Chain A
Amino acid sequence: MASRFCLGLLLLLLHSFISLAVYEDQIGLADWHQRYIGKTKQAIFHSHKTGRKRVVVSTEENAIASLDLRTGDIFWRHIFGENDSVNQVDIALGKYVITLSSEGSILRAWNLPDGQLVWESVLQFSAPSRSLLYVPTNIGMEKDSLIFAFGGGWLHAVSSIDGEKVWKKEFPAESLDIQQVFQQDHSDIIYAVGFLDSSHFVVYHISVKSGDVLKDSMSSLPNGFYGSMVLVSGGILVALDASRSTLFSINFAGSSMSIHEKYIADIVPKCSGTAEIVPSKLTGLFTLRIGACMVLFKVNNGGHIEIANTFSYPTIISDSISTTEGNQAFVVVQHAKKSVQITVKFVNDLINDALKEIVELEPHRGNVQKVFINNYVRTDRSNGFRVLLVMEDHSLILVQQGKIVWNREDGLASIIDSTTSELPIEKDGVSVAKVEHSLFEWLKGHMLKLKGSLLLATPDDIATIQEMRLKSSEKTKMIRDHNGFRMLIIVLTKAGKVFALHTGDGRVVWSLLLPSLCISKGCEYPSVLKLKLWKVPHHHAMDESPSVLAVIKCGHGFHESGVFFIIDSHTGKVRISQKLSHSILQVIPLPFTDSTEQRLHLVIDSNFDAHLYPRTAGTIDIFSREISNIYWYSVDSVEGIIKGHSLQSKCKSDMEDGYCFNTKELWSIIFPAHSEKLAAIATRKSNEVVHTQAKVIADQDVMYKYISKNLLFVATVAPKAAGEIGSVTPEEARLVAYLIDTVTGRILHRVTHQGAQGPVNAVVSENWVVYHYFNLRAHRYEMSVIEIYDQSRAGNKDIMKLVLGNHNLTSPISSYSRPEVAVKSQSYFFTHSVKVMTVTTTARGITSKQLLIGTIADQILALDKRYLDPRRTATPTQSEREEGIIPLTDSLPIIPQSYVTHSLQVEGLRGITTIPAKLESTTLVFAYGLDLFFTRIAPSRTYDSLTEDFNYVLLLITIVALVVAILVTWVLSEKKELRDKWR
């Protein structure tokens, strides 16, 4: 009995501690990690000193980073919170990076070399306003060097040494719009200029020492002002009037203000259109965009405006910098067909070019959107210039001496959708030489490994082995492999660029910028929506390459139409691009494919008509056969309404169009606005494979899972408790979880958690739902699981019937048969808050599942689903233990080894996708945020393959040795027998 118990316990131990941890030398074998920063908003160069030359950038993804000017690598990087966007960045004292964030309410200083936070000041904030930062350029090492930050209606003077607020001054923000804060010629006066009531111009002279307003002067203009003003030089500002037809230059340096005005039409007769001042910091110059013209104006000391140069529209002009000789230089970037022309000019010499370079840029980068200039002194003491370009696809390019020094694909920091594609299959006729070479390499590698495993390897050998493992050519090949580890991850970014990434090393295989193609289709303001699998060839179309569908919407309105792009997944070529004649409210991939393996898609427009794609006769046949069984539902999170629709034949709006179908509302669920607010919805993945419908429980009993693809999980919270955690009392907060059948609108289950509030994260898989929320009573996060079982099939327990196949378990299910369901649920405490949550998927659904939880620390935690089993009890019986049920604990364990991301962080984690590999045990995991992370995990360990470091040579040697031993002993025994016979 004791032995039985011991064996049972051993088995249990084996079950419960399946560790996912990787060894240190396994890092980088199957995983890769890429760091990005997002689209650059502002860039400050730091290159005067000897030592490392760097550029500090702030980005639209709320990040600041210090990049190496030579390589573009990140020295350090900080990602601010989601609501803490960086407004201004500058360098103070030559050693601190100053950032103003959160609409000008938080001022921080970072140490330039290593990115450590030096100090942080929270500034007073009364009302949202423009946020401005002024760091005097002349500040040296003197102790009281001040930084001036304006934001939230307050001007603060902050000590740059320790962040201490020296003084503050309020400017009531309701009517006053402060546009510029600056100092003039190291004087003791700070100027704050702005508009009052949009018809008055105000200048405040403020004492640097005390913050007192020494003087304020005001002048009014009957026409008012439009947009922002630019500071042209110390005492001259330029603004546009409200009708956008007149330019004003305001000279306030003297004792009285003088205003010059000029009609734009008079000075620029050639250009027509609405005028707009381009915000810039050009000494003595400013730029105006008029329709398709970019006009550069010169302003002299008297405030007189004259035209300096005219460029055609997609021309970008940088701010000016001062060179060593005291000149002011700026750069103009003009677009040609496949290249850009970079021209550096001096402010005092606008006719001649200081530098003119033509740089070829790949077409998938689009237009230049921002340009930053930096100068350096060449060995011959002349001025050299570096230009940093921010492209339309959000990438960052450094150009020096007419060459691209480096580029960063920072568009990958803002992925909004992803899908995967298989690589091409291996073609016959691989050259023999290659095989021989690889065979030799293979043998050499394995000999080294053998040495390693026999502990004979020198440190050099170990390093070689490790390098070989990391740089295995096997994983970066562009052909399909047996295990399905090599794939293409196709992602769509916010900039509208489609990238194909190789799963082996994360390199970009191809990329394609869609908006430029949209504009040629007459789609003015493209916004990207979705990426769907369009064609996945299987059987008869194996030689054709798969393709993806990218959906682009033109503009942001409700009724705007869109464009379909069908892109070859292997080459990145656009196969078909099609402008849709209707708006896009919903894109629904159907579970049918046509004869060429193209997936059928339904597009719902704003009239709730459904349009079928692809538009061929074959698809209409398939669709019309199935039309009575196709439904769709819409979730309106604002109104809190879920509606179910069926499809009918022919649109009413367009009877001619055979691919348009009318829809009819079947059911609706309305959440009362005063008591419930939609917090989260979740559905099963459409490609999820479930192995079996039966769940075998202790004592060999069976429960039948309720497996339906039409299951929708909806969580609502009390409207009061929709805000931040802790804003309401537990009595007011409530979370209601619904399980809804989307065909019939039937609510299968409803459960209320009193005292719980969002944020809610949920994941649905097979027959279960796991959701995460905050429990206000316990002051802890909680996770709940609901498992749904089909009671109408529970009677199928007669063995004879099952043996003879005389049961209804395989007959198709209809939602209208209203199957009776039974629900089991349980809740547990969970330590972390959750950003995203998903579940592993495998090729056949046999392998046990793990939840992948994106934690607040931007790491991914793998949690066995067995911990979230509603059948857990505090004291499981022997048979339950054998089944693998873990004794119930009140909180879910967090095992440090089960972090999928090991020591890495996926900064700004937004999504995790899981892709089944062909190997049943393995799931590929791709996580994206600001960073990208890819790895493969095996929730039940790799039971179906040998590990990567399996020593084949050792096995081979063992086999050979055994064969030799057998032969030798056989010969010996033959000889002995012969001798015995002669005796």
Chain B
Amino acid sequence: MEKGKGLARRWAIELAETSALSSSSSQFSGIPDPPGYNISLHDQDDSTIAGQKKDAEAAWKSQKAWEVAQAPFKNLVMMGFMMWMAGSTVHLFSIGITFSALWQPISALKGVGKVFEPYKDKRVDTLAPKLLFIALNLAGLGLGVWKLNTLGLLPTHPSDWVSSLSPAPEVEFSGGGLLIN
């Protein structure tokens, strides 16, 4: 993906055209194109090229949006691996990992609008990718919280609520001891 970035536009247009046209042609005639026939070669200088371009861009955007939405999944896997590596005892490494695991989804969720802004289009439905993105990030957050819990850092036990509870006052007082003499 990274490698083809410079050529992305041309490559994207081509793919969009073929797919759009091939599908429309098959819709119009109901007959599949003959083998070796390529409509794109004929429509190179079509007047509808501008509209097609817009279409293509929208398709590219939506695809891109989906890609972005799926990106946290990889993160999730990596986090999971690192968490497993960190172990379940509380020390600097595990705490650092856990907090980054918590912080990443949260910061990602905060910037949800921004992440999908480049792909905003009237014709592109970004809601679904957004939802996927949010869901994946929430899953990441959940993983972080689960890790926090396994580290024992979540107040889910009675001990977390009473460990600093001062002793109850006593009603009675009694003093004394050995008698002098």
Contact = CB atoms under 8 A, between A and B. Distances in A.
Contacts of B167: 690, 692-693, 705, 707
B179 interface: yes
Contacts of A796: 158, 162
A3 interface: yes
Interface in A804-821: 809-816
A692 B165 CA distance: 5
Interface string B113-132: 00000000000000000000
Interface in B148-166: 152, 155-166
* Majority secondary structure, B binding face: loop
A812 B168 contact: yes
B65 to A, nearest CB: 38
A813 B160 CA distance: 23
A634 B158 contact: no
A824 interface: no
Interface in B42-90: 85, 87-89
B176 A635 contact: yes
Interface stretch (A131-139, A232-240, A624-632): A624-632
A18 interface: no
A696 to B, nearest CB: 4
A710 B172 contact: yes
Contacts, number: 150
A812 B157 contact: no
Contact of A701 (B155, B159, B175): B159
B29 interface: no
Given A4-B88, A700-B152, A809 B175 contact: no
Contacts of B169: 812-813
A170 interface: no
B87 A814 contact: no
Contacts of A693: 162, 165-168
B173 A630 contact: yes
Q: Which of A701, A702, A707, A710 has the most CB of B within 10 A?
A: A702
A697 B164 CA distance: 14
A815 B155 CA distance: 32
Nearest to A591: B173
Nearest to A693: B167
Nearest to A632: B176
Interface in A677-720: 681, 683, 686, 690-694, 696, 700-702, 704-705, 707-710
A485 to B, nearest CB: 26
Contacts of B164: 691-692
Interface string A558-585: 1000000000000000000000000011
B180 A585 contact: yes
B171 A812 contact: yes
A691 B166 CA distance: 6
A636 B174 contact: no
B170 interface: yes
A803 B162 CA distance: 10
A743 B175 CA distance: 9
Nearest to B177: A635
Q: Which of B87, B155, B169, B179 has the most CB of A within 10 A?
A: B179
A632 B168 contact: no
A527 B174 CA distance: 27
A425 to B, nearest CB: 27
A633 interface: yes
B163 A696 contact: yes
A564 B175 CA distance: 20
B178 interface: yes
A802 B156 CA distance: 11
Interface in A792-841: 796-799, 802-803, 809-816
Contacts of B181: 556, 558, 585
Contacts of B155: 799
Q: Which of B88, B91, B163, B168 has the most CB of A within 10 A?
A: B168
A602 B152 CA distance: 50
Nearest to B162: A694
B168 A602 contact: no
Given A690-B167, A700-B152, A809-B168, A634 B162 contact: no
A875 interface: no
Contacts of A630: 172-174
Interface residues of A, number: 66
A199 interface: no
A818 to B, nearest CB: 13
Contacts of B171: 629, 812-815
A529 B174 contact: no
Nearest to A637: B178
B87 A7 contact: yes
A723 B171 CA distance: 41
A718 B34 CA distance: 114
Contacts of B168: 693, 707, 809-813
Contact of B162 (A708, A709, A809): A809
Q: Report the contact-size class of chain B (Cβ under 8 Å from the partner).
A: 20 to 34
Contact of A586 (B157, B158, B166, B179): B179
A261 to B, nearest CB: 43
A11 B89 contact: yes
A644 interface: yes
Nearest to B175: A588
Contact of B176 (A588, A705, A802): A588
A590 interface: yes
A742 B174 contact: yes
Contacts of A626: 173
Contacts of A814: 170-172
Contact of B87 (A4, A590, A604): A4
Interface string B79-116: 00000010111010000000000000000000000000
A177 B18 CA distance: 135
Given A586-B177, A591-B173, A692-B167, A799 B162 contact: no
Contact of B175 (A632, A694, A702): A632
A42 to B, nearest CB: 31
B87 A3 contact: yes
Contacts of B162: 692-694, 702, 704, 796, 802, 809
Contact of A632 (B89, B160, B174): B174
Interface string A22-46: 0000000000000000000000000
Contact of A812 (B163, B170, B177): B170
A278 B91 CA distance: 77
A32 B42 CA distance: 104
A17 B102 CA distance: 35
Contact of A681 (B161, B165, B178): B178
A694 B165 contact: yes
Contact of A644 (B170, B174, B177): B174
Nearest to A644: B174
Interface in A600-638: 602, 604, 626, 629-637
A681 B168 CA distance: 25
A812 B172 CA distance: 10
Nearest to B169: A812
A640 interface: no
B180 to A, nearest CB: 6
Q: Which of B173, B174, B178 has the most CB of A within 10 A?
A: B174
Contacts of B175: 588-590, 602, 631-633, 686
A582 B51 CA distance: 114
Contacts of A681: 177-178
Given A702-B159, A702-B162, A815 B178 contact: no
A445 interface: no
Interface of B: 85, 87-89, 91, 152, 155-181
10 contacts: A590-B173, A633-B174, A683-B177, A701-B158, A702-B159, A710-B173, A809-B168, A813-B170, A815-B172, A882-B89
- 4 nearest CB pairs, A to B: A4-B87, A588-B175, A802-B161, A700-B157
Given A530-B180, A811-B168, A814-B170, 12 more contacts: A585-B180, A626-B173, A690-B167, A692-B165, A693-B165, A696-B163, A702-B158, A702-B159, A710-B173, A742-B176, A743-B174, A799-B156
